[in-house]
Homo-oligomer: A and B are copies of this chain.
Amino acid sequence: MEKLWRKNLRDIEPYVPGEQSSEKDIVKINANENPYPPSPKVFEAIEQFDSSALRFYPNANATPLKQALADYYDVDIKNVFVGNGSDDVIAIAFQALFNSDLPIVYPDLTYSFYPVWCSLFKIPYKNYPVDSDFRINVEDYKEQNGGVIIPNPNAPTSLGEGREFVEKLMEYNHDSIVIIDEAYVDFGGVSSVPLTKKYDNLLVTGTFSKSRSLAGLRIGFAIGCEELISVLEAVKNSYNSYTIDSISIEAGRASVLDDEYFRDTCNKIIKTRARVTNEMRSMGFKVLDSQTNFIFATKDDMSMKDMFKYLKTKKVFIRYFSVPRINNYVRITIGTDEEMDILLKELKEYVK
């Protein structure tokens, strides 16, 4: 019997997540995870959590977490949206805010999930290539569009843009909604959160997965005017009312409240990044000026693909993208100083 029900299956190319390894004793600097544990306050919050309360649904508005973020960013709780990782937040934002027949626009070198969401939600899109220095040209974004999404700092380039760039972007785009994806901003970038008070068509998204060492808990957020947030809430509440579990709400809140630990951790990574950048440059690598917790690097006279493979044999896992324009670059997450010493030693060995 022919299986006619097959015609109802969604025809979609699955997104393939980055390589994971369960191997022990590897230097895992391939997923932009934080090398430091989360704040001790997070440990405490989880220890003190009363598991018998798990029989209840979570707080549907995730109020304790939202309030902590509102206080942190000096906005009202009505300006804060939270979700199951920033992927969930941005996916909801695409559905909530990108409903035009015109294409949405974003740079051609950027987070690889954007075209995947466009495909899933059937949103037309268009790319503007970054320039030969991997910089985003704000003048490209003058053309009429159905929405704009820019990661700032950008990935995998590691380059950040300043306040002037975003102000210009907003000036050129008062008729569409602009999302600034700030997954990496805490490592030296300039946040546009304060601009959400000036521009009500601006949404800024963030994540707890990088700077807060909580990739395992799945917490993302967005900040914007009350009207934008209310449409995000409407879409979210039409999908799944409870996306953040009760433990994550408390642990996430504890992380936000411990600002000292947060700043210390970010500063340690920034310091290590400067050292690794310098050492790699002195070995002849071209290393972009990173504002993130990773560096993007190449060496003109060498195959980065081969180097990536070589490092793997040495149990050092970095990231290589087989993508035009950047297929002779590698992305290296900033780990602890000890991890970076192993990387630098292996690189010296290889370059020799």
Chain B residues contacting A60 (CB-CB under 8 Å) are: 17, 20
Which secondary structure characterizes the binding site on chain A?
loop
In the complex, what residues of B have CB within 8 A of residue A214's CB? Answer: 54-55
**Cross-chain contact B43 with A240 (CB below 8 angstroms):** no
CB atoms of A5 and B176 under 8 A apart: yes
How many copies of the shown chain assemble into the complex? 2
Q: Please name all residues of chain B whose beta carbon is closer than 8 Å to the beta carbon of A209 when the two chains form the complex.
A: 57
The segment from A29-37, A65-73, A161-169, A338-346 found at the interface with B is A29-37
Q: Is A13 an interface residue (CB 8 A)?
A: yes
Instruction: Confirm or deny: A322 has a beta carbon within 8 angstroms of a beta carbon on chain B.
Output: no
Known A4-B175, A5-B201, A10-B96; contact A241-B54, beta-carbon cutoff 8 A: no
In the complex, which residue of chain B has the Cβ closest to the Cβ of A147? B8
User: B55 near A233 (CB under 8 angstroms)?
Assistant: no
A4 — which chain B residues lie within 8 A by C-beta?
174-176
- Residues 132-161 of A contacting B (Cβ, < 8 Å): 146-147
Binds B, one of A85-93, A190-198, A280-288, A295-303: A85-93
The answer to whether A15 and B237 touch across the interface, beta carbons within 8 angstroms, is yes
Chain B residues near A33 (CB-CB < 8 A): 55-57
Cβ distance A311 to chain B, nearest Cβ, rounded Å: 19
Residues of B within 8 A of A117 (CB): 238-239
Q: A84 vs B104: C-alpha distance in the bound complex, in angstroms? A: 29
Interface with B: A44-52, A181-189, A312-320, A323-331, which one?
A: A44-52
Residues 70-106 of A at the B interface (beta carbon under 8 Å): 84-85, 87-88, 91, 95-100
**In contact, B17 and A97 (Cβ under 8 angstroms):** no
What residues of B have a CB within 8 angstroms of the CB of A307 in the complex?
none
Closest beta carbon of chain B to A103's beta carbon, Å: 12
A110 at the interface (CB under 8 A from B): no
A290 close to B (CB within 8 Å): no
Does B216 contact A245, Cβ atoms closer than 8 Å?
A: yes
B239 contacts A87, C-beta separation under 8 Å: yes
- A46 touches which one: B1, B49, B119, B217 (CB < 8 A)? B49
Q: A241 contacts B87, CB within 8 Å?
A: yes
Given contacts A35-B55, A36-B55, A49-B46, contact A17 B241 (CB under 8 A): yes
Compute how far the CA of A12 lies from the CA of B214 in the bound complex, rounded to whole angstroms.
32
Are A5 and B177 also in contact (CB < 8 A) when A12-B238, A217-B246 are?
A: yes
In the complex, are the beta carbons of A215 and B57 less than 8 A apart? yes
Beyond the given A9-B99, A14-B238, please list 6 additional residue pairs across the A-B interface where CB-CB is below 8 A.
A5-B177, A35-B55, A37-B55, A54-B217, A120-B238, A120-B239
**A residues at B contact (CB < 8 Å):** 1, 3-10, 12-17, 20, 28, 31, 33-38, 42-43, 46-47, 49, 51-60, 84-85, 87-88, 91, 95-100, 116-117, 119-120, 146-147, 174-177, 200-201, 209, 213-218, 227-228, 231, 233-235, 237-248, 251
